Structures are given as structure tokens and as C-alpha cells.
């Protein structure tokens, strides 16, 4: 008997495919849930928060200052409260009571009039970058709008701005933007939706009693596993397509890199997750255990992947742990490919850890797969 | 079974098989030989170790002790090869309920890498009367039809050995008859069959009966041999009042079983004198007659005897 037979593999594959197709409810769930999650989290994280608490530090209450404060208020992003001291400002930022502190330097009016283009320092709490992203972005256009309200002499020389905002992102210097979040979200959503589908695959055979029959037939462990994974790779691609289209349409996500390369990388990523699911299914006695194992790995791959916290901001041990998970590497690949237009050369260092992970997981699963009922 | 047959002529040839689950010894020193083309009935009380033995024969359980061959292949080292040539029908239906009859059979045929798959599947469906139910989901079949599907699936790849674990449980009389005719046909073509059952009429259709108790074979041979080995004496009576007589007889010494079959009363025991005393103590004009023990009496006798010694 051959160690691996393609005919047996295709027999198993056909059977799995029919079973997947026939389980309409599960199929609907695994297609719909990721899209729902994308919108839910995408908009939740993307939401455009207004009226952010903002402290104003100013020594002399000048007339330009009043114009600027009025413009900030009108933008809708800033809810401005005057502050007495810098100490109060620090305290407010640290406690999270203030998201911004705007400091207008002494002698601001005079500096503007002299054409010195003075700076207004904006301290921003960037722990939640999406919370301040739009507000910060609004500052740039405010500067241009204010130009018109300035004295006639200043308008004659528009090449030098009357003043400028200098934004200082605090606590989170990496300052992820909305565009950084959606690619990350794609990976998280795919991790969720792929890990669980195969987690139940082998325990299901065991609990339905069909395992005894399958074991009595001349099928080999690797054939069974690859056949269990394959249909979900196809479904995974459907998910990827839907997610990418939705992201492009609703979140205006650019796709700058090569799409075939992106699909290849995501296929590998999905395969790695599915393989992990099969491993859990193999070593568990029942569906409950398998599900718990999957949940146990979801949390760290969610938290340590660089999605929740900037990867380089994490302690070294956490970075090492994070490197193990395919989600971490997939996130870098997807971000790099979508936003920076990265190609093969840039993503290769992130691809092989995913491939290695999948290989190791499948090897362990094959080793633990029992060909007897003992 | 011919004693002159060389070892290699046995399709099943296992010695001293042992299996425990935890501290519980389920099979204790089972030695079994089944010749090619033989239909061997496997009987025994619930929990006597029939399923466990069958699983060891096809490599689904690894024996704790003992050794042997199935179709000339070592049951421990060559289990994957054995699977290629054995058809195993599980006690519990274990095909895919979310696949249709055809899809299940087609799956089996392709897993065994059969050459003319479509024809083989079509033939077996016709032979088992499954053709009308071709596109019905297996989960929606009635119990008896599920059994037919399972049997069809396990003979599909033309195995050399069939291991059937209670194949006709819940199957109607006609289907059972067809089923056994099929098994006899295939045995005629050289297929060897080991079939576990709790039905006496089926046991009688086996060339040889192996009776298991507590994981050991306690008696084996043809139906007649088993009956005569039991040392059981049976009397039969007919007439009015056999129901009352049966109730009274059950409590008397020397009577192991008193059961009514249709219009006659059947009484069995091993002690002739005690049995005769008992039946003569019953009033009424019952006509008693000694009859050869039925296989059923023999098995009930063995089932009720603690430890299962005949
Ligand atoms: N996987 C297992 N783990 C623990 N005990 C088991 C296992 N399989 C079987 N047993 C025990 O072994 C004994 C024999 O079981 P087996 O299924 O072989 O009996 P059987 O003769 O087939 O009975 P039945 O006529 O009810 O089918 C039973 O007491 C059963 O509880
Ligand atoms: Mg059994």
C-alpha cells in the first residue's frame, strides 16, 4: 500500500466537499461572520469621534487666538476648555481626561504679524490613534482656512504660512492610522473564521462514530488532513475576496501590491490556520476541548500580533511570542502589500515563518493522528 | 474446518489474543481459526468481547497480548494492508449521514481505488435493492436500509474477509433472508465471513458457531455439535393450560428454562431426573415428549450459567 495516494486523497476531498456544501448553515455563517466583523470592527474602530476633550494653554488672550479657537470648535472635533498651567495639562493627558493640549506661545499675534510663522504645539494622546486620527488630520485644513481671516499684509505673501500646528503624538509614536487598521483587521477576521472550521473536523468524525469506519478503510493520516483542509482554503478565498472588496468600497483601502502575490500569501496564511485547527481536532477527545484549545490561541494571536498594540512597543518576550503566530506575519504582509506596495522581496521574510509554522503543525498532527481506536 | 489444513489456509488465524481497558480484561486468551470460505457465527452475551475481538482482527485495536494473522498478514505490524482486503461492518451505523446512498458508496469505491467505480457502485446498489434510494441522504434512511447500505459498502471492494458486527440488528425478516442469501453466495465465491449476531436462526445458518463468554471461547462447532455438547435435555408439551404450567415450572428444581412458543411449552434442564420429577408434578393433561434442544435453549442456558461454562 502506498504511503500517499492521490486517488484516495481525491476520494476524501470529494466527500469533504459534499459535506461542506451540504452544511448550508455553517457555510452561511463562515461567509457572513467575517464580513459582519469587518464592518462591525472597521466602523467601530474607524468611527470619527467628535468633540474630543481639548485643553487650551495660552498666556495672552490674543485676537488671532480667538479666531483659531473658534475655527477649532467649528471643525467639530475639539471641545475646548481653558487650562491654568502646564501641570494641569500633563495631569489631564495622563489621566485620559484630555486627548489634546493646544499651547499657544506668548507673543503669538506679534510673531504672526512679523511673518515669523510661529508654531502652535498640539500634544495628542495617541494611545488610541484612531480616536485622534481625524481630528489631527483636520488641523492641516484649518491652517489654510485661517489664512483668509488674517490681516491684509499677511495675505499678500501666502507662500509662508502665518503659523503652523506642530502635532506631538504622545504615548504611541507609531500612530497607526485607519488604513493601518483595516489590513490588520483582515488578518484578525481570517484567523477567527478559519481556525474554528477545522477545529471540529476530526472530533466531529469521532463523535458521530464515522471515525471507526474511516479508520477501517485504507486511508492515511496525511490524506485525511489535507482533504479536510482543502475545501476551506477555497472558502477562505471567498472570504478574502469579499473582505478585500468590502474594504476597498467602504474603507477606501488601497491595494498597491500585486494581487496574485497577496492571494498567494493569504492562501498560505489560511492554510496555516486550518492546519492548526486540524491539529487541535486531532489531539482533542471531543469538540469542547478542541474549541477551547482554539480559543486559547486566538487571544495571543490577537493581542501579540501588533494589531492591538504597536509590535515594537511590546516587551521583547512578547515580541518573540508574537513572531510564532502566523497572524503576526500575515499582518505585516497585508499592511505592506496594501499600503506600501511591497513585493516578493519585502514579504519573503514574513512568508517563510508562516510556511514553517504550517509544516510543523501538520507534522505534529500526523504524528498524533491515531490509526487505531485505542 | 479441516484439521489437515495448513496454517496458511486459514483466513483468520489468531492465538491467545488479549485486550484490557484499564483494569477490565475484555478479551482473555482468544484463539480462533477460520478457514477460507467459511461462515463463522460469533455469539455471546452483551459485553462478552465480540466487538473488541473483531476490532483487533482488522487492526482497529492493538491487542495487549497474543499474535496472529488475518488473510496471511500480521494483525499488529501489517494492519494498514489488512484494511485493503477486509470489509468491516461496524455495529453502529458509521457511514456519512449527510451524504446520499450513492455518494457514500462512491466514496468507499474510490477510497479503495477501484477500477470500474461507476459500474461497481451501480451493481451493488441493484444487488442490495438500493437503486431506488440512490439519492436519498443516508441519515434519512430507516434503520434497516442503513444496515443494507452499510453491508453494500463493506462488500463493495470485494474483500477477502468480511467482519460483520451484528449486521442484521433491526432488519426485517425478508431483508434478513436476502442478506444471508447474499452472504452465502459470496462465501460460495470464496469469501470468508465472521459474523456476530444475537439471532438463533442466523446462528443456525453458520457453518460454525463460536460462543464467547467473558472474553473467552467457551464452545465452538456446528449448531448440532454445540447443542449436543451442552448436555441439555428438553421436553415439549402441548395442550390447554401451558401458560399456567410454564409459570409453575419456572420455580421448580431442575428447570432452567420454561418458555412458551406458540402452542407448545418448552422446558430445559441439565438434570434429567430432576426435570422429569418437575414435569410430572404438574397437573392437567399435558402430553410430554423429549425433543432435541433448540439452539436458543442452548444459548439461554449458556447465557444464564454464570461464567458461561456449558
Ligand atoms: N473503548 C473502550 N473503553 C473501555 N471499555 C470498553 C471499550 N470498548 C469496549 N469496552 C468494554 O469491553 C467490554 C466488551 O465490549 P464489546 O463491545 O466487545 O462487547 P460485545 O460482545 O460486542 O457486546 P454487544 O453484544 O453488546 O455488542 C464491555 O464491557 C465494554 O464496556
Ligand atoms: Mg458489540
Atom of ligand 1 minimally distant from the CA of B53: 18
| Interface residue of B22, B58, B98, B149 to substitute, partner A, most A CBs within 10 Å | B98
DSSP code of residue B183: H
| Interface residue of B94, B118, B137, B166 to substitute, partner A, most A CBs within 10 Å | B94
Residues with CB under 6 A from ligand 1: B 21, 26, 44, 46-52, 91
Burial of A264 (0-12, 13-18, 19+ CB in 10 A): middle
C-alpha–C-alpha distance, residues A118 and A310, integer Å: 32
C-alpha–C-alpha distance, residues B211 and A316, integer Å: 68
Cell of B44: 455471546
Which strand ranges, in their side-by-side order, compose the sheet holding B161-165?
Answer: B86-89, B161-165, B192-196, B39-44, B208-213, B216-221
Cross-strand pairs, B257: B268
Q: Are A234 and A16 in contact (CB under 8 A)?
A: no
**CA of residue B208 relative to chain centroid, distance:** 10
DSSP code of residue B248: H
Helix (H) or strand (E) holding A229: helix A221-250
**Which CATH class name applies to B37-61+84-226?**
alpha beta
The half-sphere exposure of A121 on its side-chain side, counting CA atoms within 13 A, is 11
C-alpha–C-alpha distance, residues B210 and B201, integer Å: 15
**pLDDT tens digits for range A205-248:** 999 999 999 999 999 999 999 999 999 999 989 988 988 888 88
C-alpha–C-alpha distance, residues B203 and B227, integer Å: 12
Which residues of chain A does B85 touch, with a Cβ-Cβ cutoff of 8 Å? none
Crossing angle of the two packed helices A201-208 and A178-199, in degrees rounded to 10: 20
**CB spacing of B60 vs A212 below 8 angstroms:** yes
Q: Does residue A257 register a pLDDT over 90? A: no
- The answer as to CATH 1.10.240.10 being correct for domain B233-292 is no
C-alpha–C-alpha distance, residues B100 and A15, integer Å: 11
Atom 12 of ligand 1, nearest CA residue? B26
DSSP-derived pairing of the beta strands B192-196 and B39-44? parallel
Q: What is the mean pLDDT of chain B?
A: 87
C-alpha–C-alpha distance, residues B113 and B107, integer Å: 10
Q: Are A183 and A266 in contact (CB under 8 A)?
A: no
Cell of B123: 451493481
Apex A281 CA angle, A277 and A286, nearest 5: 140
Complex ipTM: 0.83
Across A141-155, A312-326, B52-66, B117-131, least confident range: A141-155
A42 compared with B236, residue with greater pLDDT:
B236
**CB spacing of B94 vs A213 below 8 angstroms:** yes
C-alpha–C-alpha distance, residues A267 and B70, integer Å: 44
Nearest to B90 among A15, A213, A374 (CB): A213
Predicted local confidence at residue A151, as pLDDT: 59
Predicted local confidence at residue A352, as pLDDT: 95
Q: Are A195 and A273 in contact (CB under 8 A)?
A: yes
C-alpha–C-alpha distance, residues B230 and B233, integer Å: 9
Give the torsion through C-alpha atoms of A28, A34, A37, A43, to 10 deg: -120
C-alpha–C-alpha distance, residues B310 and B93, integer Å: 33
User: Which protein residues have a CB closer than 5 Å to ligand 2 (ion)?
Assistant: B 50-51, 91
Q: Are A116 and A163 in contact (CB under 8 A)?
A: no
C-alpha–C-alpha distance, residues A277 and A229, integer Å: 9
Closest CA–CA distance from residue A25 to any residue of chain B (Å): 13
Residues in chain A, total: 374
* Touching B: A residues 162-221, CB under 8 Å: 208-213, 215-220
Q: Are B157 and B106 in contact (CB under 8 A)?
A: no
Q: Does residue A156 register a pLDDT over 80? A: no
Q: Select from A108, A136, A115 the least CA-distant residue to A48.
A: A136
Q: Select from A194, A286, A205 the least CA-distant residue to A12.
A: A205
Domains and CATH numbers, chain A: 52-170 (3.40.1710.10), 177-368 (no CATH)
Across A95-109, A175-189, A226-240, least confident range: A175-189
Cell of A203: 472530533
Which residues of chain A does B64 touch, with a Cβ-Cβ cutoff of 8 Å? none
Crossing angle of the two packed helices A344-368 and A221-250, in degrees rounded to 10: 140
Q: Average pLDDT for residues A319-340, to the nearest whole number?
A: 87
| Residue B20 sits at the chain A interface (C-beta within 8 Å) | no
Q: Select from A280, A270, A269 the least CA-distant residue to A204.
A: A280
Burial of A160 (0-12, 13-18, 19+ CB in 10 A): exposed
Low pLDDT (below 50) residues in chain B: 1-7, 306-310
C-alpha–C-alpha distance, residues B254 and B258, integer Å: 11
| Interface residue of B51, B58, B96 to substitute, partner A, most A CBs within 10 Å | B96
Predicted local confidence at residue B175, as pLDDT: 84
Predicted local confidence at residue A104, as pLDDT: 86
For residue A217, give the chain B residue with the closest CA.
Answer: B83
Q: Are A77 and A71 in contact (CB under 8 A)?
A: no
Q: Does residue A95 register a pLDDT over 60? A: yes
C-alpha–C-alpha distance, residues B268 and B276, integer Å: 10
- Coil, strand or helix: which one is B164? strand
Q: How many C-beta neighbours within 10 Å does residue B130 have?
A: 23
Total-model pTM:
0.76
Q: Select from A136, A207, A133, A200 the least CA-distant residue to A165.
A: A136
Predicted local confidence at residue B3, as pLDDT: 41
Cell of A39: 464592518
Q: Average pLDDT for residues A311-316, to the nearest whole number?
A: 71
**pLDDT tens digits for range A261-287:** 999 999 999 999 999 999 999 998 888
What contacts B50, CB < 8 A, 6 or more positions away? B42, B43, B44, B165, B196, B212
C-alpha–C-alpha distance, residues A290 and B84, integer Å: 31
Q: Select from B264, B285, B267 the least CA-distant residue to B277.
A: B267
Q: Average pLDDT for residues A178-199, to the nearest whole number?
A: 82
What contacts B23, CB < 8 A, 6 or more positions away? none
- Domain edges within chain B: 37-61+84-226, 233-292
Residue A15 confidence class, pLDDT cut points 50, 70, 90: very high
Predicted local confidence at residue B305, as pLDDT: 66
What share of chain A has pLDDT > 90, as a percent? Answer: 24
A340: left (phi over 0), alpha (psi -120 to 50) or beta: alpha
Cell of B159: 474483500
* Touching A: B residues 73-132, CB under 8 Å: 79-81, 83-84, 86, 88, 90, 92-99, 103, 106-108, 110-113
Predicted local confidence at residue B6, as pLDDT: 43
Residue with cell 482554503: A233
Across A33-42, A305-314, A330-339, least confident range: A305-314
**CA of residue A234 relative to chain centroid, distance:** 23
- Coil, strand or helix: which one is A47? coil
C-alpha–C-alpha distance, residues B16 and B63, integer Å: 10
Q: Are A149 and A67 in contact (CB under 8 A)?
A: yes
C-alpha–C-alpha distance, residues B295 and A270, integer Å: 61
- Phi, psi torsion values for B4, nearest 5 degrees: -75, -15
| Residue A12 sits at the chain B interface (C-beta within 8 Å) | yes
Q: Per-residue DSSP letters for A97-139?
A: S-SEEEEEPTTHHHHHHTT---EEEEEEE-SSHHHHHHHHHHH
Residue with cell 455563517: A29
Q: How many C-beta neighbours within 10 Å does residue B102 have?
A: 18
Predicted local confidence at residue A157, as pLDDT: 57
What contacts B211, CB < 8 A, 6 or more positions away? B43, B44, B217, B218, B219, B220, B226, B299, B302, B308, B310
DSSP-derived pairing of the beta strands A119-125 and A164-170? parallel
**CB spacing of A373 vs B80 below 8 angstroms:** no
Amino acid at each position: 500500500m502506498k504511503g500517499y495516494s492521490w486517488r484516495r486523497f481525491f476520494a476524501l476531498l470529494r466527500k469533504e466537499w459534499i459535506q461542506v456544501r451540504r452544511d448550508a448553515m455553517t457555510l452561511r455563517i463562515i461567509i457572513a461572520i467575517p464580513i459582519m466583523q469587518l464592518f462591525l470592527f472597521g466602523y467601530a474602530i474607524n468611527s470619527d469621534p467628535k468633540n474630543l476633550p481639548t485643553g487650551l494653554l495660552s498666556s495672552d488672550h490674543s485676537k488671532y487666538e480667538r479666531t483659531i479657537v473658534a475655527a477649532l470648535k467649528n471643525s467639530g472635533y475639539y471641545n475646548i476648555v481653558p487650562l491654568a498651567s502646564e501641570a494641569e495639562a500633563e495631569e489631564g493627558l495622563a489621566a485620559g481626561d484630555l486627548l489634546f493640549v493646544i499651547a499657544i506661545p506668548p507673543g503669538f499675534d506679534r510673531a504672526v504679524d512679523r511673518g515669523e510663522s510661529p508654531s502652535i504645539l498640539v500634544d495628542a494622546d495617541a494611545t488610541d490613534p484612531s480616536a485622534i486620527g481625524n481630528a489631527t488630520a483636520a488641523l492641516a485644513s484649518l491652517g489654510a482656512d485661517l489664512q483668509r481671516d488674517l490681516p491684509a499684509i499677511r495675505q499678500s505673501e501666502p507662500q509662508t504660512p502665518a503659523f503652523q500646528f506642530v502635532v506631538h503624538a504622545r504615548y504611541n509614536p507609531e500612530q497607526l492610522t485607519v488604513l493601518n487598521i483595516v489590513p490588520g483587521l483582515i488578518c484578525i477576521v481570517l484567523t477567527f473564521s478559519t481556525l474554528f472550521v477545522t477545529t471540529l473536523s476530526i472530533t466531529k468524525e469521532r463523535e458521530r462514530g464515522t471515525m471507526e469506519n474511516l479508520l477501517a478503510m485504507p486511508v492515511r493520516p496525511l490524506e485525511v488532513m489535507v482533504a479536510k483542509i482543502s475545501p476551506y482554503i477555497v472558502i477562505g478565498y471567498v472570504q478574502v475576496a469579499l473582505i478585500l472588496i468590502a474594504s476597498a468600497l467602504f474603507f477606501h483601502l488601497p491595494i498597491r501590491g500585486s494581487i496574485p502575490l497577496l492571494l498567494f500569501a493569504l492562501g498560505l496564511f489560511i492554510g496555516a490556520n486550518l492546519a492548526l485547527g486540524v491539529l487541535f481536532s486531532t489531539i482533542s477527545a471531543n469538540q469542547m476541548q478542541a474549541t477551547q484549545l482554539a480559543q486559547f490561541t486566538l487571544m495571543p494571536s490577537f493581542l501579540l500580533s501588533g494589531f492591538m498594540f504597536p509590535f515594537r512597543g511590546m516587551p521583547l518576550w512578547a515580541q518573540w511570542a508574537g513572531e510564532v503566530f502566523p497572524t503576526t506575519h500575515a499582518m505585516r504582509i497585508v499592511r505592506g502589500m496594501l499600503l506600501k506596495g511591497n513585493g516578493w522581496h519585502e514579504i519573503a521574510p514574513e512568508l517563510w515563518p508562516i510556511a514553517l509554522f504550517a509544516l510543523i503543525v501538520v507534522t505534529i498532527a500526523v504524528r498524533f493522528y491515531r490509526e487505531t481506536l485505542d | 474446518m479441516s484439521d489437515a489444513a495448513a496454517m496458511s489456509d486459514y483466513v483468520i488465524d489468531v492465538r491467545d489474543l488479549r485486550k484490557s481497558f484499564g483494569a477490565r480484561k475484555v478479551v482473555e486468551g482468544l484463539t480462533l481459526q477460520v478457514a477460507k470460505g467459511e461462515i463463522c457465527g460469533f455469539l455471546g452475551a452483551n459485553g462478552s468481547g465480540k466487538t473488541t475481538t473483531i476490532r483487533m482482527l482488522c487492526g482497529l485495536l492493538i491487542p495487549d497480548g497474543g499474535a496472529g494473522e488475518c488473510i496471511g498478514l500480521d494483525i499488529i505490524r501489517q494492519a494498514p494492508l489488512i484494511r485493503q482486503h477486509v470489509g468491516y461492518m461496524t455495529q453502529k451505523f458509521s457511514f456519512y449521514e449527510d451524504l446520499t446512498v450513492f455518494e457514500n458508496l462512491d466514496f468507499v469505491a474510490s477510497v479503495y481505488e477501484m477500477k470500474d467505480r461507476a459500474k461497481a457502485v451501480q451493481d451493488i446498489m441493484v444487488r442490495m435493492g438500493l437503486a431506488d434510494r440512490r439519492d436519498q441522504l443516508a441519515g434519512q434512511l430507516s434503520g434497516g436500509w442503513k444496515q443494507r447500505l452499510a453491508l453494500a459498502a463493506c462488500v463493495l471492494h470485494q474483500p477477502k474477509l468480511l467482519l460483520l458486527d451484528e449486521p442484521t440488528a433491526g432488519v426485517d425478516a425478508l431483508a434478513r433472508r436476502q442478506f444471508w442469501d447474499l452472504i452465502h453466495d459470496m462465501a460460495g465465491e470464496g469469501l470468508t465471513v465472521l459474523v456476530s449476531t444475537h439471532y438463533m436462526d442466523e446462528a443456525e445458518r453458520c457453518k460454525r458457531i463460536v460462543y464467547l463468554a467473558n472474553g473467552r471461547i467457551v464452545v465452538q462447532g456446528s449448531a448440532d455439535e454445540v447443542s449436543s455438547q451442552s448436555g441439555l435435555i428438553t421436553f415439549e408439551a402441548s395442550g390447554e393450560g401451558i401458560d399456567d404450567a410454564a409459570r409453575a415450572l419456572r420455580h421448580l428444581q431442575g428447570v432452567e428454562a420454561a418458555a412458551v412458543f406458540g402452542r407448545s411449552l418448552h422446558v430445559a434442564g441439565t438434570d434429567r431426573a430432576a426435570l422429569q420429577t418437575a414435569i410430572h408434578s404438574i397437573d392437567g393433561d399435558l402430553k410430554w415428549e423429549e425433543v432435541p434442544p433448540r439452539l436458543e435453549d442452548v444459548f439461554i442456558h449458556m447465557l444464564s450459567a454464570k461464567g458461561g461454562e456449558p
